[in-house]
Amino acid sequence: MNYATIKYCDIANGTGVRTSLFVSGCRRHCPECFNAVAWDFGYGLPFDKAVRNEILGSLAPDYIDGLSLLGGEPFEPENQRALVPFLHEVRVLYPHKTIWCYTGNVYETELLQPSHARCEVTDEMLSLIDVLVDGEFISAQHDISLRFRGSGNQRIIDLNATRAAGHTVLWQDDPLFADHKM
């Protein structure tokens, strides 16, 4: 797997201060995608052991709340296979930090059901993620007032609550931000 970029001390892609890994490779090609350069699986640099260790080190400070995965598309099967062992490392080293993941796939129909995104490690990858932002970017529904997502169709799913409830549970934002109007 290649990665397009890494953002350290990112505050735009999940709660708190995070390290955000933008993987390369996406077959969706959403019109007006903010990161179309990362559609190419060969774009960027190899996600090798040195890079993994650099990211793991960046998660160590107490002020870092967790890791966010973006793309490209983290749920392309090739990317899932590379990310699952890494996410296990994150969980072992930082069990109290959160993992957010952004995907163009819809949770119930493309990640839980047979689809182009499902592979032998999809369920395992989902089990390692705390919050999933799902749904492809739709430019006609672009809304800059939405927190942590780009278009109105996208949802923020609390996967821990979803697993506990046995049905999809949306993430609840801090009330201070939830009622904010731009």
DSSP 114-177: SSSS--TTHHHHHHT-SEEEES---GGGB-TTSTT-SBTT-EEEEHHHHHHHTS--B----HHH
pLDDT score at 156: 96
Q: What does the pLDDT look like over 57-115, one tens digit per residue?
A: 999 999 999 999 999 999 999 999 999 999 999 999 999 999 999 999 999 999 999 99
Would the pLDDT of 176 be above 90? no
* pLDDT score of 180 more than 70: no
Task: Let me know how many helices (H) and strands (E) the chain has, helices first.
Answer: 5, 7
Q: pTM score, two decimals?
A: 0.93
Q: What is the pLDDT of residue 3?
A: 97
Which pLDDT does position 174 carry in this prediction?
73
Determine which helix (DSSP H) or strand (DSSP E) holds 86, and give its type and residue range: helix 77-93
Q: Is the pLDDT of residue 179 over 90?
A: no
pLDDT at 121 over 60: yes
What does the CA dihedral 55, 40, 81, 70 come to, rounded to 10 degrees? 50
pLDDT of 15 higher than 60: yes
- CB 30, CB 9: distance < 8 Å: no
Q: Which two tokens stand for residue 86?
A: 């890494």
What is the residue-averaged pLDDT of the chain? 93
- The domain limits of the chain are 2-178
